[in-house]
Structure 1
Amino acid sequence: MAAEFATSVACDFRNQTKKYELAIDKLQNEVNEARRKTEVIEHDVEDWLTKAREEREDVKRLLDEIEVFQSVSCLGLEILLKYESHQATVPGLEFIPSKDFMPSESSNSAFKEIMEALNNGDVNMMGLHRMGGVGKTTLAKEVGRQAKRHFNEVVIVTVSQTPKINNIQGKVADFLHLNFQKTNLEGRAGQLWLRIKDVKSILIILDDVWEELDLKVIGIPFGDDHKGCQIFLTTCVKQVCTRMKCQKDVHLNILHVHEAWALFKDNVGLKDVTSPLSDVAKEVARECKGLPLAIVTVGSALKDETQDEWKVLHRRLKDFRHIEH
């Protein structure tokens, strides 16, 4: 059953995460020891550590979501349908390969708008907004991957609902191979400011922003302070784009019905649209409301389940909708 599947996945993830964390800590200790001996650290090592830390955070966030799934009824799936009212972060790699980017009419349109704005020298602050589960993070990572061709440096940082300035500073510094000599926020901000100013063209992607951020407090120069620095943020709160004075505000829509159904079929493994399962599958897919994250998660969790189990799930999802509205 899907609940058992979630428990199994969570257990495996926890075990793998512990091994991953041990490997990261071991390598970091070796790097620290090498620095103390004034040895040169290869960029490949620094890059791996940066990516490893980002991926470790993604896995931890995924584990948190799985634990939430386990704590609710309806095979743990009701929580997916709340994505219309609160933010959820899509786990993923730092900059995903293009083959993992799932294009849709909405994402293609938004992607085109974003890339055009990035090429416009007059736009130094841009935002992408929509409710959680639509694919903002995935799109932002694809933007970052493509932007590497046009910028000297591309940085992506997950801000989250409870941002910590020192963590944001640390993540940006990791991308730029900056070792802080200062320990207080102001000192680190000053060092970061000078390092970013030293980069001719840089794109800083701030993902999952919930409230206005003071970039100067972090140590990020832009606008008149650094014409070569462009900021691209994603948020589920449209007002954040206004408060951050975004010159370009891009809206990411949900999937169209035919796109949602194609994605759902792919994740369920439904090849024969005339099968007895097809009708109830369409109803379940419709309850995902065009949200890619919900479609992928529900479809994958219910793969190989029986028709009766699908019907039970569909009734539970409909009942949940009635309660919500």
Structure 2
Amino acid sequence: MEEKNVSRITKIHLLGLQTPHSITFLIFFLFLLIYCVTICGNLLIITLVSYSKSLHTPMYFFLSQLSLSDILLVTDILPNILHTVLMKGITISFSDCITQFYFFCVFEGLECLLLTVMCYDRYVAICKPLHYTLLMNFQLCWLMIITCWVLNLLVILILTLTISQLDFCGPDIINHFFCDLDPILQLSCSDAAYVLLEAALMTGINVAIPFFTIIISYVYIIITIFNIPSITGRQNVFSTCSSHLTVVCIYYGSIVCVYLVPHRGQSGDITKFLSLLYTVVTPLMNPIIYSLRNKDLKEAAAKIINQRLHSHFSK
């Protein structure tokens, strides 16, 4: 029996966003500005949480980890976008494409788990305030963060290794701005049923379970808030989780639109636009949402700025 000779592709052409030539530089500088603002905004939160003693609490510790995840995510995605916008597409090696896919999945999955951990923190703070200090100690916080990282790295590694074992015989063109699962599998001439099963299990672990955990937690949070007798008390308590709820809605809303809504009749441009929401827009919006709606972060920033100005003028 003759063995089938499969020509494995080694290079992949990423078409990118395919913007009109007349606005190429405008789009390039827009994404460059988004990249810089995202990095600076999230670095600011990490710096404030690190240096301000008033922010050394579980809630802000988890927020700093979310900011770190956002920085890593945009660094994985945005440089390729900038390159493809200028060059109207780029050519990368197949191994680079798989590597980008791996880290993209790790950071997206980490975002889901971190949002869940942050929701649990708010649940304990609002529903079990007397036990908060006992339950949310820093040993548990670090254990949660390490578990999130290790779980993601291992689960996504298994999926990525399975994908790399497929035969890829072309075409060698991906009509996207990064290497996502569906575009990669479209290059394969192997049966991808096992990969799709693993991807479904991975989605259940990293996306579905955290999502339903967040929903259940917020049901208890909302019930607890409605049991507070004063309107002012309700508003004060709800304000502590409103930023998190806003980020969850933006993040999961965009993921549902891309991965759960049927793609039949949906153009590639619409898919790219929706993908931008959770790969670019969410990491940009997270520090803005938390900074604008959080009095503690504003006060910490003002305090550090005043200290710097005071030390500068006192010299």
On whether the aligned pair clears a TM of 0.5, the verdict is no
Normalising by structure 1, we get a TM-score of: 0.29
Specify which structure has the bigger relative contact order, considering alpha-carbon pairs within 8 angstroms and separated by 6 or more residues.
Answer: 2
Normalising by structure 2, we get a TM-score of: 0.30
Bigger fraction of residues in helix: 2
